[in-house]
Amino acid sequence: MFAASTGHAQFGGLLGGKKKSAGTDKDAYIAQGKQLIQGYALMQSTLLEVGAAQAEAEGDNAKAEEYRVLAKTLADDPSTKDFDKVKQASEEIREKQSDTAKRSVEYTAKGKAALQKTLPKATASFAGGVALSVLSVKWLAEYPDQLKAAGTFGKLKLLKELKVPLYVAKEIPSALKTLPTLTKAMGHAKKQGVDVKDAEKQAAGIKL
pTM of the model: 0.78
Percentage, residues of the chain above pLDDT 90: 29
Q: Which of 70-74, 81-85, 90-94 has the highest mean pLDDT?
A: 70-74
What residue type is 196 in one-letter code?
A: V
Show the domain range for 61: 2-204
Section 145-154 average pLDDT: 90
| Contact present, 31 and 22 (Cβ < 8 Å) | no
Which range (69-83, 130-144, 146-160) has the least confidence?
Answer: 69-83
Domain count, the chain: 1
Provide the mean pLDDT of the chain.
Answer: 81
Please state, in angstroms and as integers, the Cα–Cα distance from residue 176 to each residue in 21, 68, 153, following that order.
25, 20, 36
Confidence band, pLDDT 50/70/90 cuts, at residue 102: low
Residue 151, Ramachandran bin (φ over 0: left; ψ between -120 and 50: alpha; else beta): left
DSSP secondary structure of 66-131:
HHHHHHHHHHHS--HHHHHHHHHHHHHHHHHHHHHTTS--PPPHHHHHHHHHHHHHHHHHHHHHHH
Find all residues with CB under 8 Å of 164, minimum gap 6, and list them.
Answer: 33, 37, 79, 80
Q: How far is C-alpha 51 from the geometric centre of its chain's CA atoms?
A: 13
pLDDT the model gives residue 5:
38
